[in-house]
Amino acid sequence: MFRRKKPAADQQPEDLDQDVVVVVDQSVNPYLVMFHEPAGFRAEQVRAVRNRLVAMNPDGEPKTLVVTSAVRGEGKSVSALNLAMAFAELERQRVVIVDADLRRPSCERYLNLNAEPGLSDVLMGRAPVDRLLRPAGYRQLMLLGAGTRVDNPAEVLSSSRLDQLLQRLKETFQYVVIDTPPVLPSTDAGVLAAAADGTLLVVRLERSLKKQSRDATRVLQDMGANLMGTYVTEVRGQDPESDRRLAYEAEPAED
């Protein structure tokens, strides 16, 4: 949602470092409900998940949280971003979203940001993480993008630097939300889930196959992941448009 302002015709390329950013929101993924409809029912559902996770962390320790699912297209990236935004709404909480899908990264695209160096560069020792963190364009939420494309994502993610990085992020952030590739096609998500404090499994209600979600659960458990719960999306018939009893809009203000 932050895009660099177009340079004026007479501006030289070297001036661009000081560029002003302008907010553009049309291209932000429409399912990022925390951004597009923060007062809506769906945003409230995301907050409910957030609140449960906060309640599961009574000591308020910094936590790393993996968001994953069995296969692609089940809504991991959108769910991870919505959840990170919901955490970022909490007062005085520093939150970062990490795009650890080095195969098909999408966080930057969904936020309408340019792809820049990020996680892969940190894991390969090319740059310190502090230099690559940047604003996600939503409140105080920070982003560590997937970074420079690599041919060997599994190897890069299994680097011993991963644990160090997660520890380092917990020194700065209260919640570290990690978007991952799907569990069944590659080993990446299992490795990330094992390294994180908690894992959420995304299930797209009418599309995900029960067997695949179950197999993914087993893989994650075998890897030693701490499965905190299932994040169910696309639940139909349980929203205010389908059932007015669920509506609770603010009363119109009196003149």
Question: Which residues are at the interface with ligand ADP (CB under 6 A)?
Answer: 29, 31, 69, 72-78, 106, 233-234
Amino acid at 45: Q
Q: Is 77 in the site for Mg ion (CB under 5 A)?
A: yes
Of 124 and 232, nearer to ligand ADP (C-beta) is 232
46 binds, among Mg ion, ligand ADP, none (CB under 5 to 8 A by kind): none
Of 69 and 217, nearer to ligand ADP (C-beta) is 69
Q: In the complex, what is the shortest distance from the CB of residue 61 to ligand ADP, in angstroms, rounded to a whole number? A: 27
Count of residues in contact with Mg ion, rule CB under 5 A: 3
Residues 227 and 203 sit within 8 Å (Cβ to Cβ): no
- Residues 82-111 interacting with Mg ion (rule: CB under 5 A): 106
CA distance 241 to 160: 49
- List the alpha helices (DSSP H) in 117-204: 119-123, 129-132, 153-157, 161-172, 188-195
* Residue 175, beta-bridge partner list: 63, 95
Query: At CA 193, angle to CA 192 and CA 199, rounded to 5?
Result: 140
Q: In the complex, what is the shortest distance from the CB of residue 29 to ligand ADP, in angstroms, rounded to a whole number? A: 5
* Residue 42 to residues 5, 8, 32, 207, Cα–Cα distance (Å): 32, 40, 10, 19
Q: Is 204 in the site for Mg ion (CB under 5 A)?
A: no
Q: In the complex, what is the shortest distance from the CB of residue 30 to ligand ADP, in angstroms, rounded to a whole number? A: 7
- CA within 13 Å, CB half, 170: 15
- Residues 106-145 interacting with Mg ion (rule: CB under 5 A): 106
Binding site residues, Mg ion, CB under 5 A: 76-77, 106
